[in-house]
Amino acid sequence: MSVSGSLAAVIKEQLQRALDRGCSFADVRYYEEDSTQSLVLYDGNLEGNYRRFERGIGVRVLKNGAIGFAATADLERIPDCFDRALANAEAAAVLLGFPKDMGYAQPVHGTYKPPFQKDPFTIPLPEILNLLNTIDRQLNEKPVEHRMVRFHFQKRHIYYFNTEGSEIERWVMNPFANMTVMARDKENRTQRRSYDLESDGTGSRGFEWVENPGAFAVHTDRIKSELSQLLSAETLPPGRRDVILLPGQGHLQVHETIGHPLELDRILGYELSFAGGSHVKPQDIGTLRYGSDKLNAVVMVVENSPGTFGYDDEGTPQHQYYLIKNGILVNVLCARIDLSEANAKAGKKVVEKSGASARAAGFYKTPIDRMTNVCVEWGSDGTLEDIVKATENGVILDMPVSWSIGSNREHFHFGCEIAWEVKDGRRTRVYKNPTYQGHTLEFYNSLDMVGDRSTWRLVQVPNCGKGEPNQIMEVGHGVPVMRFRNVLTGEGR
């Protein structure tokens, strides 16, 4: 641990004071550095060029079964921050429901550093802008009317301490990159194609990934070509057909209709007033048929993902576990704080241990249940072309344009950038403005083909929103190509 000795001493002294004042648990996250760099080149103009720096401390205490949280950027006022957290917990205990309980965990001492070679924050700005500009120039040709290239880098250096004696030091390194091209079609409607930096789950997370031409820049010609095809395409006619989701769309389907409904705080009703609840009940864990036998959803520890961070914000080490195995719901995304309540409500033990899902978006946010790497295992139904060959009447869909999901995640409506019609085992044409909608369990039970490892991509999501006060979190989703049968597609009006 390289945090200054005097600061560590103050934190430990205050943790002890929290115990002395009757807390059963307390923890502290000190963000020595939380840096962001955002660069946006829009039609060749640098419309976004900023850096953000944050430093501060977040304190969480558990007293009389209630949680209190407080945060400050003023490191001279750490005792005051503890006092506010304690006062918040004491106020919360006035209206107490199921008493919160952290259980017991062995103290954890550890460090985590994601793999990276080049720290983007040490790369001279002209060098980064040169890369942005090069990609922008590659996008700037007819029929493209508007184009955007974005880099967004995050670096965090976080220390964690708790009253159990855990001390963890970890770093976060997140490079995000996106390119988008737009033009108006023959009906004067804007069409777009885009690409987000993604991987096969391996590799490193420094600037070397972004600047690797084979990882990002290589996609410029493809998205321009596909945009051209969209401009002369017809709108997807409404009707029921098979849907083949590429990872660019499949990851959001998984995010919204597997990830969110399996967050334990949603299941227990703690998100009802804002994000919504879940169609899943605690007693469903272990029994609910969520999808067909082909569906295996796993929380993975992936080498190259924003959802890999070593230890969560309660100090639990990340580990791999199934959420859905052969279509049956077997576990949920959970933290230590809600395990006993979930088991009590289910009337049996449905969750054994924390899924290392307690995550906070900054020092001034409290940890809540978040996705990490909610993935779908690759299957044995071959490549994308094998799945296409096996499809009589369907569409291949890629990249979200819009998403709207029922409050309990029981139904959904997605709009995508592009569709390729599949007829009798062949791609026949491109359609624009494709949409599809369905009901979650019915949809996943119609999953009948799952692509092999060659189709599996780890897609980065930089902006998952949840919680009050609201938090934006970075997560990863590894998904293969998936085929769903007889889905309602297109708009009837």
Partner 1 sequence: MLEPKLRDLIVQARNYARHKGTNAEFSLHRERSSLIRLGNSAIALSTSEELTRLDISVMQGRRVGAISLTANLTSLDQLKTALHQAEENCRNALPKDYDPIFGVVEEPIADTTGYDPALENLSPQAKADLCARVIKTVKPKGNYDFSGSWSTGSTEIYYTTTANDHEAYRRLTDGRLVIVLKEQAKKWELSVTRTQKKANEFDADGIIQELETLLPIYEQNPGFHPQIGPQKVLFGAGAIADLLGLCLWGGFIGRFYEEGRAFTSKNKFGDKIFSEHITIVDDPANQLVFQMPFDFIGKRRKLFKLVDKGVFAGMPYDSQTAAKYKKQPTGHDLENWDLVMATGTGPADLKPALQLAGNALYIPHLHYTHLPDPTRGIFTGSSRFNALLIKDGKFVAPIFSSRITDAIPNLFNQVIAVSSQAVAENVSSTYERRTPSAYAVPSWLLCDRVNISDVADSF
Chain positions 85 to 104 lying near partner 1, rule: CB under 8 A, are 87-89, 91-98
Nearest distance, CB of residue 482 and partner 1, angstroms:
21
Number of amino acids touching partner 1 (CB under 8 A): 87
Give yes or no for residue 68 binding partner 1 (CB under 8 A): yes
Q: What's the burial of 118, exposed, middle or buried (CB within 10 Å: 0-12/13-18/19+)?
A: middle
- Give all strands (DSSP E) within 277-434, no chain letters: 297-299, 321-325, 328-329, 358-359, 368-369, 374-376, 393-405, 411-423, 426-432
What is the gyration radius of the CA atoms in the chain, in angstroms?
A: 24
Q: Which of residues 6, 106, 122, 273 is near partner 1 by CB under 8 A?
A: 273
Question: With respect to partner 1, which residue has the nearer C-beta, 293 or 468?
Answer: 468
Nearest distance, CB of residue 459 and partner 1, angstroms:
19
Give yes or no for residue 408 binding partner 1 (CB under 8 A): yes
> Between 220-231 and 125-139, two packed helices, what is the crossing angle to 10 degrees?
30
Stretch that binds partner 1, among 184-192, 208-216, 294-302, 306-314 (CB under 8 A): 184-192
Helices (H), 24-124: 78-92
Stretch that binds partner 1, among 150-158, 294-302, 432-440, 447-455 (CB under 8 A): 432-440
Q: Which of residues 113, 184, 319, 423 is near partner 1 by CB under 8 A?
A: 184
Give yes or no for residue 188 binding partner 1 (CB under 8 A): yes
Nearest distance, CB of residue 433 and partner 1, angstroms:
6
451 in the Ramachandran plot: left (φ > 0), alpha (ψ -120 to 50) or beta? beta
Q: What angle do CA 453, 351, 305 make, to 5 degrees?
A: 35
Q: Which of residues 166, 253, 366, 391 is near partner 1 by CB under 8 A?
A: 366
Nearest distance, CB of residue 335 and partner 1, angstroms:
13
Q: Which of residues 166, 435, 446, 489 is near partner 1 by CB under 8 A?
A: 435
Nearest-CA neighbor of 31 among 126, 136, 202, 168?
Answer: 168
Nearest distance, CB of residue 277 and partner 1, angstroms:
8
Window 142-161: residues binding partner 1 (CB under 8 A): 145-146
Window 113-142: residues binding partner 1 (CB under 8 A): 124-126, 129, 133
Window 23-62: residues binding partner 1 (CB under 8 A): 34, 41, 44-47, 49-56
Q: Please name the residues in contact with 9: beta carbons below 8 A apart, sequence gap of 6 or more.
A: none
Q: Which of residues 8, 272, 288, 330 is near partner 1 by CB under 8 A?
A: 272
Stretch that binds partner 1, among 10-18, 156-164, 216-224, 273-281 (CB under 8 A): 273-281
Distance CA 78, CA 10 (A): 8
Question: With respect to partner 1, which residue has the nearer C-beta, 277 or 310?
Answer: 277
Give yes or no for residue 270 binding partner 1 (CB under 8 A): yes
Give the amino acid at 490: G
Question: With respect to partner 1, which residue has the nearer C-beta, 205 or 336?
Answer: 336
Nearest distance, CB of residue 450 and partner 1, angstroms:
26
Tokens of 448: 């009948």
Tokens of 444: 């996943």
CB contact at 8 A, 462 and 174? yes
Give yes or no for residue 76 binding partner 1 (CB under 8 A): yes
Distance CA 239, CA 231 (A): 22
Question: With respect to partner 1, which residue has the nearer C-beta, 34 or 242?
Answer: 34
Nearest distance, CB of residue 315 and partner 1, angstroms:
19
Window 202-261: residues binding partner 1 (CB under 8 A): none
Element (H, E) at 265: helix 264-267
Question: What DSSP character marks residue 44?
Answer: T
Give yes or no for residue 445 binding partner 1 (CB under 8 A): no
CB contact at 8 A, 206 and 154? no
Question: With respect to partner 1, which residue has the nearer C-beta, 377 or 410?
Answer: 410
Q: Is the peptide bond before 143 cis (omega within 30 degrees of 0)?
A: yes
Give yes or no for residue 465 binding partner 1 (CB under 8 A): yes
CB contact at 8 A, 153 and 211? no
Q: Please name the residues in contact with 188: beta carbons below 8 A apart, sequence gap of 6 or more.
A: none
- Count Cβ atoms below 10 Å from residue 230 Cβ, excluding itself: 22
Question: With respect to partner 1, which residue has the nearer C-beta, 242 or 338?
Answer: 338
Give yes or no for residue 433 binding partner 1 (CB under 8 A): yes
Window 285-344: residues binding partner 1 (CB under 8 A): 341
In Å, how far from its chain's centre is CA 84?
31
